[in-house]
Amino acid sequence: MEMLELPQQQHHHHRKKVNLTNPRSSFASFRSDLKETFLPDDPFRQLKHQSGCAAACSLAKYLVPMLEWAPRYTLAKFRSDLLAGITIATLAIPQGISYARLANLPPVVGLYVSFVPPLIYGIFGSSMNLAVGNVATVSLLLASMIGSQVSATESPDLYMNLFFTAAFFTGVFEVALGIFRLGILVDFLSRSTITGFMGGTAIIVIMQQLKGVLGLKHFTTKTDVVSVLHFVFSHTSEWRWESVLVGVCFIGLLFLSKYVKAKVPRLFWVPAIAPLLVVVLGGVFAYLVHGEEHGIHIVGPLKKGLNPISITHLKFHSKYFSVLLKAGLVTGFLALSEGIAVGRSLAMLKNEQIDGNKEMIAFGMMNIVGSWFSCYLTTGPFSKSAVNFDAGCKTAMSNVIMSICMMLVLLFLAPLFKYTPLVSLSAIITVAMIGLIEYEKAHHLFKVDKFDFVICMAAFFGVIFFSMIIGLMVSVGLSVIRALLYVARPNTCKLGNIAGTDMYRDIEQYPDCVGIPNMLILKMSSPLYYANASYSRERILRWIETEESIANKNGEELHYLILDMGGVTTIDNTGIGMLQEVYRNLERRQIRVVLANPRLQVAEKLVLAKYIELIGEEWVFLSVNEAVSACHFSLQESRTIDP
């Protein structure tokens, strides 16, 4: 029996044909692909129909978001931003000092971070809810990476300047990502990876706080849990019960403040000022009882005055270049992932949108400028941003107000924090880090997607038992492997007809679907290219063999293979070659290949490769239903001609 042809009468049936006659030029196709890759949101679409002056104004508003909201700024918004700005400033003081200590930097550097960078973010930031500052995870990661090259105790000035230089590299990296629209790179840090990494980092940060809580004078430079616990329990003679008692009291007070907010939501400001209250109470207590004589160590003198200029102290020597570049890139990825994720999450609660690429530029600018004024890496921490949101912020002006408050602290109040006990800072960090261990999200991952859970746990255990870099790399590696598996092993499913409709769905998902006699309908659900072409060919032929076996048992024959190409977004030369091989294989079996709903990019390449000419243009249809009807018609006509 020869392969069935579509009778001439079929040409008289009025049906919409797939557009196969007007392929785009190579330049037009390349431009479209480039635009979809780097400008999927088409940010300059509003400029198309504007005059030169209006277009320039719109462009300026796009590049500097402050110009967008400032003209519409009202006194009511200022009152809300004023309250939010003062509230996050009270949180920024203890957090800044704590995280600077975590990075082995002078405590006052943690205050510098909340002065200059928020001013820059207020100008360039597109999020109305984000509050910027330093974060524990990045502080510890930088301390680990830079500390491997330079000792913070032996060369404190060089160590500190390397932090500023790493912030400069991070800023340049972030600005480059934003300008070239390369936010896609940040997407390789999946939510599962971030959840596991943050949880693991929270554990090792908490372990580092045992130094302050136990009143230890010295501590291990290693970060893994085994090494830290071994050091702690091998130095039990240095434990100070006084420090432990104070630490437990402060941790209890901080948890109490969170409980109050949970019970009475309108008291959102209680946990916001609780860290500052702990610092003040701790300072007063340490001063009155001479805490250092009882094992309660204090921060020590803090310099009064604004950020000193550090642009001339940035280090670009070849000796440190590689580690600084590595530190800048790794921490830049983490900072962007956390900051943009936090900004988007809070924006969703207000039904707002933020531009990820604008945020990259804003983060980059504040880190570049910050590195010139004695600031290390800054991003949008969740804790501070959540407080900013709960306090009712309306615009990025809340960051500017926080900056002004911090300026006043630096000018007049900084020396007052001299007696702040290290144990109070340890308590603040411990409670903050416990909030980063997302048990419920991990459990959710376990229920919904086991592989995502494995990725999360790889990051978590990699961080706590080895190092932050190892945990992150292993988790990202597993994520990439998973993505490659999805691409290299695409899902192909058999479609059946839902009775009484013209819809065709996966027969596994909808068991009531009815298979079409003499036809096999397969849905291709991914791009066809070199990575999956061989697998796709083998999978199609396996479907054919299975379907032929079923048809033979029922005394029927398989005449048509209908490929639903709607899910094939693109195809390369290897993919086209695979389709040609399938066609030749089925031609020998007298089975006709039929295409349904090929997308524009795919149809263009199939025409240029003469594949459409090979199978016949009349066998390309807009929908599966049309393809099935045409095959039925052809089959009936052939049986009428040759009974």
What is the residue-averaged pLDDT of the chain? 86
Task: Specify whether the CB–CB gap between 181 and 39 falls below 8 A.
Answer: yes
Expressed in angstroms, the distance from the first to the final Cα of the chain is: 12
Indicate the DSSP class of residue 270.
Answer: H
Task: Specify whether the CB–CB gap between 132 and 366 falls below 8 A.
Answer: yes
Please name the helix (run of DSSP H) or strand (run of DSSP E) that holds residue 319, with its range, or none.
Answer: helix 318-349
Pick from 140, 137, 136, 190: which is nearest to 441 by CA?
A: 190
Task: Specify whether the CB–CB gap between 630 and 595 falls below 8 A.
Answer: no
Q: Are strands 519-524 and 492-497 parallel, antiparallel or unpaired?
A: antiparallel
Pick from 511, 540, 515: which is nearest to 525 by CA?
A: 540
pLDDT tens digits, 264-287: 888 877 887 888 888 889 989 988
Tell me what pLDDT residue 48 has: 65
- Cα–chain center distance at 74: 34
Is residue 406 helix, strand or coil?
Answer: helix
Q: pLDDT class for 353, splitting at 50, 70, 90?
A: confident
Q: Are strands 592-596 and 519-524 parallel, antiparallel or unpaired?
A: unpaired
Reply yes or no on whether the pLDDT at 557 is more than 60.
yes
Cα 318 from Cα 338, distance rounded (Å): 30
Q: Which residues contact residue 111 at a Cβ distance below 8 angstroms, ignoring those fewer than 6 apart? A: 92, 93, 96, 97, 100, 302, 406, 409, 410, 414
Reply yes or no on whether the pLDDT at 19 is more than 90.
no
Q: pLDDT class for 643, splitting at 50, 70, 90?
A: low
- Kindly tell me the burial class for residue 27, based on how many C-beta atoms sit within 10 Å of its own C-beta (0-12, 13-18, 19 or more): exposed
Strand partners, 594: 562
Helix-strand-coil percent breakdown of the chain, rounded to 5? 65, 5, 30
Cα 403 from Cα 399, distance rounded (Å): 6
pLDDT tens digits, 452-477: 999 999 999 998 998 878 888 899 89
Cα 457 from Cα 437, distance rounded (Å): 12
Pick from 300, 285, 246: which is nearest to 100 by CA?
A: 300
Pick from 432, 436, 485: which is nearest to 460 by CA?
A: 436
- Kindly tell me the burial class for residue 241, based on how many C-beta atoms sit within 10 Å of its own C-beta (0-12, 13-18, 19 or more): exposed
Cα 105 from Cα 140, distance rounded (Å): 11
pLDDT over 90 for what percent of the chain?
43
Look up residue 514 and give its two tokens: 């009815």
E-strand ranges in 442-498 read 492-497
Q: pLDDT class for 587, splitting at 50, 70, 90?
A: very high
Q: How many residues does the chain have?
A: 643
pLDDT tens digits, 152-203: 888 999 999 999 999 999 999 999 988 887 767 666 778 888 888 888 888 9
- Cα–chain center distance at 135: 17
Tell me what pLDDT residue 178 has: 87
> Which of these ranges, 56-65, 363-372, 415-424, 523-532, has the smallest mean pLDDT?
56-65
Cα 482 from Cα 104, distance rounded (Å): 38
Boundaries of every domain in the chain: 67-240+296-418+439-484, 490-641
Pick from 103, 40, 16, 66: which is nearest to 425 by CA?
A: 103
pTM of the model: 0.74
Q: Which residues contact residue 629 at a Cβ distance below 8 angstroms, ignoring those fewer than 6 apart? A: none
pLDDT tens digits, 111-140: 999 999 999 999 999 899 999 999 888 898
pLDDT tens digits, 604-642: 899 999 999 999 999 999 999 999 999 998 888 876 765
DSSP notation for 622-635: SSHHHHHHHHHHHH
Query: What does CATH list as the number for 490-641?
Result: 3.30.750.24
Residue 47: count of CB within 10 angstroms of its CB: 14
Q: pLDDT class for 13, splitting at 50, 70, 90?
A: very low
Task: Specify whether the CB–CB gap between 82 and 399 falls below 8 A.
Answer: no
Task: Specify whether the CB–CB gap between 236 and 244 falls below 8 A.
Answer: no
Reply yes or no on whether the pLDDT at 510 is more than 60.
yes
Tell me what pLDDT residue 9 has: 44
